[in-house]
Amino acid sequence: MSSINEGLPTDMPTIRERYTAHDHMTEPGTFGSLYDHLPSDVSALRKLVSQLIVHVSLADKYEIPATMARPRETQSASDRLRLIQATLNEPLDVPRPPHQRTFGTCRDYSLLLCSMLRHQAIPARIRCGFANYFSAAPYQDHWICEYWSEREQRWYRVDAQLDEMQAHELGIAFNPSDLPNDVYLTAGQAWILVRNGGALADEFGHGDDRGLWFLNVNLHRDLLALTNQQTSIWDTWRTATPGTKLVDMSGKAFGDEIAAEIVRADSTSDALSQLFELAALAMPPPWIASR
């Protein structure tokens, strides 16, 4: 069986080179000029992004008519910007009421912020993991954006989805531009926590889809996102059948290896090459492989 990521390069660039250059999902294309006059402050950019998209699952809270189509497919930055301008052809910092925003999910907010940061030559990437500040407790599937601080030599985690309404409803008391370690776990951190007995696998998931199999989904999606593959066939998890919602012994061992390298790469730049090697070895999910 062939892997899903054959042919990845083996000579790995630095953090700055890898996460500052645009890829096909963060490239703004012909809409790049919309970024030219945006603020350089990350908190200001985060707030701006939160007001350009409405999460499809929250549309009713913004009193958006149910008859309005609510697509949830992840959009590239260029496609997102095209939709934004088609809805309201104004600079991005012009306030948009909810009915004049585009629809998306947490990954879309994160991708758009990542695109803006890379445009300013700030290393940025998106992450797949679990947040504990949503109503679907205790740990809900969630994507965020990270940017690299050269001065502090660390990654800052940013939730671009949290606008004022959501922050108020959820009782957010932390800075969404610098997520504390106890409110968000990357998929690698969550996997290690569960495998070491620190939490139950069923505490992690998306709605009713929970357990080690879903942890494995996000583990692979985070690995691929770290190699600038922000969408993949692992996004088809909704089509999984009960018989394919499993992780066998070899899958657990490979998951342990992925998780260890993801966590190591969060603090050690020389671990990047290993992430790309692991991504090249990643196999299709069971519900795809069994077809």
Q: What do you get for the CA distance between the two ends of the chain, in Å?
A: 12
Which residues on neighbouring strands pair with residue 140, listed in sequence order? 131, 205
Going from the C-alpha of 23 to that of each of 19, 37, 96, 159, 281, the distances in angstroms are 9, 22, 28, 21, 21
What pTM did the predictor assign?
0.92
Q: What is the pLDDT along the chain (291 residues), one digit of tens a residue?
A: 334 444 344 455 677 788 999 999 999 999 999 999 999 999 999 999 999 999 988 888 888 877 776 777 899 999 999 999 999 999 999 999 988 999 999 999 999 999 999 999 999 999 999 999 997 668 999 999 999 998 998 899 999 999 999 999 999 999 999 999 999 999 999 999 999 999 999 999 998 999 999 999 999 999 999 999 999 999 999 999 999 999 999 999 999 999 999 998 887 666 678 888 889 888 899 999 766
The two three-digit tokens of residue 141, written as one number: 């599937």
